[in-house]
């Protein structure tokens, strides 16, 4: 008879209570966002810690909210400062590659069996990625037909059918830079992905409908058209929240640091007794949203689809009154991304986190990736 206590005898408290802790690290152009998650016994992701640090003060200009272009030494220093401030001890985790220097595009290929397609992809990719194949790491994903934006336009004849493939390529120099940062801060076996993939994981959930993610950072606004959780196209608008600060600084003749604070304090409600304030904000914001609207309607027209919603992420969308402004701008629903919904948060943090939500979309998505991998 098997020993009924065998399991108990082999019981090892370390395996039962072994908790996995991971970090999600988003090194943005203007700020670093870090979150720490722990997987509990029930497989849920618990938020243990989070922190944010403006990178402006590490650059010669020194202004919070502005994009920087820091050396890897400075970035590593800043990341160590975040760990120090938050009391996080670096261990396993995931880091995002920025979309800017990455290549992300959807190509069309003739319909063939999967193996043939997979041999074709690296050759085809060379035609579209403007750097030598040896200089990048290439990844791809064949877009399943049900989610293919082409599905509606596809010919019924199997032979003439086209398939879509999402290509992602990151330059070896970028990979080496982020690996070196991970090494310097003591992050072992970090994993990496392009930032949009992280945002998708944290803000979309099970939504399969066609939608747009709009990430307003400091110098750029990144757009991704997503369906069934798969990217169908991505775009970068070369304007972001720092353009609002700069417009305020010029329009009101105040230093950038002051303009940054005023932007955060008053937003679109404007400064009392100053009619030019809201105007200075509306101009760059209007330009960003009209570019985004154009991308969205081109997509809808091209594929004959209706987008169900626009999800806002990034620090720039936290501007007071921006949600209402965006809702007037788009013909579709607009919502704030709330990545903290995907994790269990301590009750006392809930209000703070709801407001900080959009800017942690990438970091939370990375944390979830790191948890899934372990």
Ligand X SMILES: Nc1ncnc2c1ncn2[C@@H]1O[C@H](COP(=O)(O)OP(=O)(O)OP(=O)(O)O)[C@@H](O)[C@H]1O
28 binds Mg ion (CB under 5 A): yes
Q: 101: phi > 0 → left, psi -120 to 50 → alpha, else beta; which?
A: alpha
CA distances from 32 to 54, 79, 284, 363 (A): 7, 7, 24, 9
Shortest Å, Cβ 72 to Mg ion: 18
- Identify the residue whose tokens are 């400075």: 74
* Strand segments (E) across 174-264: 191-194, 211-216, 221-227, 230-237
Contact of residue 167 among Mg ion, ligand X, none (CB under 5-8 Å per partner type): none
Site string (36-65) toward ligand X, x via CB under 6 A: -----------------------------x
For CA atoms 131, 132, 134, 140, the dihedral sign is positive
What's the rounded Cα separation, in Å, for the pair 310 and 295? 12
Contact of residue 243 among ligand X, Mg ion, none (CB under 5-8 Å per partner type): none
What's the rounded Cα separation, in Å, for the pair 129 and 142? 17
Of residues 22, 23, 25, 31, which one binds ligand X by CB under 6 A? 31
Count of positions (residues) in the chain: 374
Of residues 162, 264, 305, 309, which one binds ligand X by CB under 6 A? 264
Contact of residue 219 among Mg ion, ligand X, none (CB under 5-8 Å per partner type): ligand X
- Does residue 255 sit in helix, strand or coil? coil
Contact of residue 263 among ligand X, Mg ion, none (CB under 5-8 Å per partner type): ligand X
Contact of residue 316 among ligand X, Mg ion, none (CB under 5-8 Å per partner type): ligand X
Residues 145-184 that bind ligand X (CB under 6 A): none
Of residues 316, 339, 357, 367, which one binds ligand X by CB under 6 A? 316
Shortest Å, Cβ 240 to ligand X: 6
Q: Which stretch binds ligand X (CB under 6 A): 70-78, 198-206, 238-246, 366-374?
A: 238-246
Shortest Å, Cβ 360 to ligand X: 9
Contact of residue 241 among ligand X, Mg ion, none (CB under 5-8 Å per partner type): ligand X
Of residues 48, 235, 263, 342, which one binds ligand X by CB under 6 A? 263
The 333-336 sheet, strands edge to edge: 230-237, 221-227, 211-216, 309-313, 333-336
- Judged by CB, which is closer to ligand X: 149, or 218? 218
Number of H helices, E strands in the chain: 12, 13
- Judged by CB, which is closer to Mg ion: 24, or 28? 28
243 binds ligand X (CB under 6 A): no
Q: Which stretch binds ligand X (CB under 6 A): 82-90, 268-276, 277-285, 313-321?
A: 313-321
Size of the residue set binding Mg ion (CB under 5 A)? 2
Give the pair of three-digit tokens for residue 201.
């994981």
What's the rounded Cα separation, in Å, for the pair 140 and 145? 15
202 binds ligand X (CB under 6 A): no
Of residues 56, 90, 314, 337, which one binds ligand X by CB under 6 A? 314
Inter-residue contact 194 to 369 (CB < 8 Å): no
Closest C-alpha to 199, from 79, 312, 37, 322? 312
* Strand segments (E) across the chain: 20-27, 31-39, 45-54, 93-97, 103-110, 136-143, 162-171, 191-194, 211-216, 221-227, 230-237, 309-313, 333-336
Residues 210-239 that bind Mg ion (CB under 5 A): 217
28 binds ligand X (CB under 6 A): yes
What's the rounded Cα separation, in Å, for the pair 63 and 42? 44
The 103-110 sheet, strands edge to edge: 103-110, 162-171, 136-143
Q: Which stretch binds ligand X (CB under 6 A): 5-13, 153-161, 223-231, 235-243?
A: 235-243
- Judged by CB, which is closer to ligand X: 165, or 213? 213
- By the criterion CB under 5 A, which residues form the site for Mg ion? 28, 217
- By the criterion CB under 6 A, which residues form the site for ligand X? 28-31, 65, 98, 217-220, 240-242, 245, 260, 263-264, 314-316, 318-319, 359
């Amino acid at each position: 008879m098997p020993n009924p206590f065998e399991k108990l005898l082999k019981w090892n408290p370390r395996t039962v209570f072994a908790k996995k802790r991971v970090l999600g690290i988003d090194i943005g152009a203007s700020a670093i966002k870090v979150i720490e998650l722990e997987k509990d016994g029930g497989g849920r992701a618990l938020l243990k810690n989070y922190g944010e640090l403006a990178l402006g003060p590490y650059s010669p200009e020194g202004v919070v909210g502005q994009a920087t272009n820091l050396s890897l030494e400075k970035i590593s220093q800043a990341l160590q400062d975040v760990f120090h401030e938050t009391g996080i001890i670096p261990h396993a985790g995931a880091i995002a590659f920025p979309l800017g220097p990455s290549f992300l595009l959807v190509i069309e290929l003739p319909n063939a069996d999967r193996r043939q397609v997979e041999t074709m992809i690296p050759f085809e990719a060379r035609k579209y990625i403007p750097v030598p194949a040896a200089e990048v790491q290439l990844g791809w994903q064949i877009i399943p037909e049900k989610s293919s934006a082409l599905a509606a336009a596809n010919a019924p004849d199997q032979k003439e059918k086209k398939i879509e493939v999402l290509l992602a390529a990151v330059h070896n120099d970028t990979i080496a830079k982020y690996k070196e940062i991970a090494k310097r801060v003591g992050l072992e076996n970090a994993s990496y992905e392009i930032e949009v993939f992280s945002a998708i994981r944290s803000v979309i959930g099970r939504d399969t409908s066609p939608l747009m993610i709009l990430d307003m950072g400091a110098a750029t606004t990144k757009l991704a058209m997503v369906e069934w959780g798969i990217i169908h196209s991505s775009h970068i608008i070369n304007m972001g929240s720092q353009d609002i600060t700069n417009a305020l600084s010029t329009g009101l003749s105040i230093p950038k640091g002051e303009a940054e604070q005023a932007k955060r304090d008053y937003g679109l409600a404007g400064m009392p007794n100053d009619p030019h304030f809201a105007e200075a904000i509306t101009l760059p914001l209007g330009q960003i949203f009209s570019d985004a609207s154009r991308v969205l309607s081109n997509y809808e027209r091209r594929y004959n689809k209706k987008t169900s919603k626009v999800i806002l992420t990034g620090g720039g969308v936290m501007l007071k009154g921006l949600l209402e402004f965006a809702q007037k701008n788009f013909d579709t629903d607009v919502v704030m991304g709330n990545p903290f919904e995907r994790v269990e948060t301590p009750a006392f943090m809930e209000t703070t986190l709801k407001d900080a939500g959009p800017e942690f979309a990438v970091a939370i998505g990375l944390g979830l990736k790191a948890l899934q991998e372990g």
